[in-house]
Chains A and B, each alone.
Chain A
Amino acid sequence: MSDPVISVRNLQVEFVTRRATLRAIDGVSFDIHKGEVLGVVGESGAGKSVTGAAIIGLIEPPGRISGGEILLNGRRIDNLPPEEMRKVRGRKVAMIFQDPLTSLNPLFRVGEQLVETIRTHLPMNERQARDRAVELLTEVGIPAPEKRIDGYPHEFSGGMRQRVVIALALCAEPDFIVADEPTTALDVSVQAQIISLIKKLGRERGMAVMLVTHDMGVIAETADRVAVMYAGRVAEIGPVRDVVQRPMHPYAKGLMGAIPTLEAATDRLVQIPGSMPRLSSIPRGCAFNPRCGEVFARCHVDQPLPLPVQGRQVACHLYENESIKTAEVAR
């Protein structure tokens, strides 16, 4: 396989507060290759968005990257000086935010925002940048782009605004794009359009996409691989089919079990008892131990590290033996 576009290695992000230093991300690692969509799922506060923000260098104080490294096409970008990182941002790595209604500046025409972004990254004059802006709007499926380019954000519907946001993210043909819950704020009917647009653009342009979402349906439909996050750690990561249909980590099992299906009509959905721990009180050992049905002594002592099991990585002591077996078979 080719070298990954984005490689996150043992990333740690901390938030320094007056009382304590909270570790929001604790040893997250994953790779995303050209044209690949990595879905990232997990409860609110699991660290999905923070991971995305860390990659594009937009962690705001008091947060900071306290360990690990982020490589873009093999080059470290987590320790770049701010001005260098600014040039990477939007040019090589881009981000789409949750709420298209608030991600566009209401006082500027859509065209002004596009042209400004294009000219920040590419050596173009006003005219060329405008032509490119029209092309981008066409590409993301805005009808009559020559006219709509002079409209203000409030003149666009939610779905159309998200298309504009996507066009803005694509201005400089980035290699990697973080889509942070891009459909949460949209109508269900529009969600599917936006998701398929992101998927299509990722494929056509060979972009690596990190798709952060709560929506397992979106993941199943769009992602190539999926990472399940819990309390700032990756619980399980692997090909989307395997993880969704046969989850291994007890938390992933619980999460997938909580998805209603039409085939198996049950009265109650499976619930994971309890709730995710606060960052200030993550238990020793495995962060999931208070809620896990298969917990045993070791879970309270050692923090499980990601183990390769059956073509995926699972951070759970249950699979220690299987992991060794996998390794032996490989040998």
Chain B
Amino acid sequence: MLAYILRSLTQATLVMLAVAFIAFSMFRYVGDPVASIVGQDATLKDRQELSESLGLNDPFPLQFARFLGNALQGDLGISYRQGRPVADLLIERLPATIELAVISAIVALGLGLILGIYAALNRKGVIANIVMSVSLIGVSLPTFLIGVGLIFLFSVYLRWLPSFGRGEVVAFGWWTTGLLTESGRKSLIMPVITLGFFQLTLIMRLVRAEMLEVMRTEYIKFARARGLSDGKVHYRHALRNAMVPVITITGLQLGSIIAFAIVTETVFNWPGLGALFVRSVEVVDIPVMAAYLMFVGLVFVVVNLIVDVLYFLVDPRLRGGITVPAR
């Protein structure tokens, strides 16, 4: 167990190093930081002085090491445009994105599982077929279209829900939440649906397919032959086996919910990290872009670590070593 986690951790560290390296390369190859900071009428001497004071004349490995050291201490540089530490900007925006992503993920996972199992167990049922047809829409419609459609229906036509922003938020230290106010909750509904709908349908279809696959196996037949109840056969034996591939895909999808909430945040003008990133790209704010890149990398690495550990808990075959000596 320990060796397995250590191996996963080592892999995670290597991936993060590679991501950091790419992020760092952006400084060098995407635009010129000096040009971005100084005005147009700066002299060549001003530029050289600035370049020297920023450490841009040092050898590449040294600069990278410094960048890594700073990043580990939470110093991600200063935004070119806003002149504030990037770390502060991220932390300010983080709660909005996390809240949106986590709620979407819970909804997608919860409903996806329930509907997927239902659709698998009642394969020929009318409701299951309706659910499957609707899910086809979810899989094929682009996110922004769903968002725009929802805004049209609920904000413009019915006027039930706000079309942008987070509503009123309550702050706990650096964390802010919209869950405690009515306007905050109302504001969450449409972004959550928009962000989660694709994931929900994907998880649902995956769970259904895996369940059907598992239901055909010999051990399910044998479980029935032993006289186990349908409940036990379905929810204990079949579901647990169906979960193994579902965990992989779901893990990756949840990572992408957090990392790529960009489209949803843009459509709903949600004050999260995605919106911050889009703005930074527009103005070539490289420190923010680099930090965002590393943040996305970190999210994926952490999610994958969790998935690895979950695998380990669900599937005894991965635990390698034999629990009792073989014959």
**In-complex Cβ contact of A94 among B219, B226, B324 (8 A):** B226
Residues on A with beta carbons closer than 8 Å to the beta carbon of B314: 107
Residues on A with beta carbons closer than 8 Å to the beta carbon of B241: 105-107
B interface footprint on A230-267 (CB within 8 Å = 1, 0 otherwise): 00000000000000000000000000000000000000
Cβ of A56 under 8 Å from chain B = yes
Cβ of A95 under 8 Å from chain B = yes
A90/B218 in contact, CB under 8 A: no
Cβ of B98 under 8 Å from chain A = no
B interface footprint on A126-165 (CB within 8 Å = 1, 0 otherwise): 0000000000000000011001101110111100100001
User: Residues of A within 8 Å of B, CB-based: how many?
Assistant: 42
B227/A152 in contact, CB under 8 A: no
Residues on B with beta carbons closer than 8 Å to the beta carbon of A147: 324-325
B219 nearest in chain A by CB position: A105
B219/A104 in contact, CB under 8 A: yes
Q: Known contacts A150-B323, A155-B326, A157-B327: does B316 contact A106 (CB below 8 Å)?
A: yes
Majority secondary structure of chain B interface residues (helix, strand, loop or mixed): helix
> What is the bound-complex CA distance between A97 and B241, given in angstroms?
20
Cβ of A89 under 8 Å from chain B = yes
> What is the bound-complex CA distance between A230 and B205, given in angstroms?
42
Cβ of B221 under 8 Å from chain A = yes
B244 nearest in chain A by CB position: A107
Cβ of B72 under 8 Å from chain A = no
Residues on A with beta carbons closer than 8 Å to the beta carbon of B322: 151, 155
A160/B232 in contact, CB under 8 A: no
> What is the bound-complex CA distance between A151 and B221, given in angstroms?
22
User: A32-40, A114-122, A209-217: which one contacts chain B?
Assistant: A114-122
Residues on A with beta carbons closer than 8 Å to the beta carbon of B327: 143, 156-157, 160
Q: Known contacts A97-B221, A150-B324: does B316 contact A86 (CB below 8 Å)?
A: no
B219/A151 in contact, CB under 8 A: no
Cβ of A169 under 8 Å from chain B = yes
Report the minimal beta-carbon distance from A96 to chain B, rounded to whole angstroms.
8
B316/A152 in contact, CB under 8 A: yes
A152/B317 in contact, CB under 8 A: yes
Residues on B with beta carbons closer than 8 Å to the beta carbon of A120: 226-229, 232
Cβ of A102 under 8 Å from chain B = yes
Report the minimal beta-carbon distance from A133 to chain B, rounded to whole angstroms.
13
| B residues at A contact (CB < 8 Å) | 217-219, 221-230, 232, 236-237, 240-241, 314-317, 322-327
The 8 closest A-B pairs by CB, nearest first: A90-B227, A102-B218, A89-B227, A95-B225, A90-B226, A152-B316, A103-B222, A105-B219
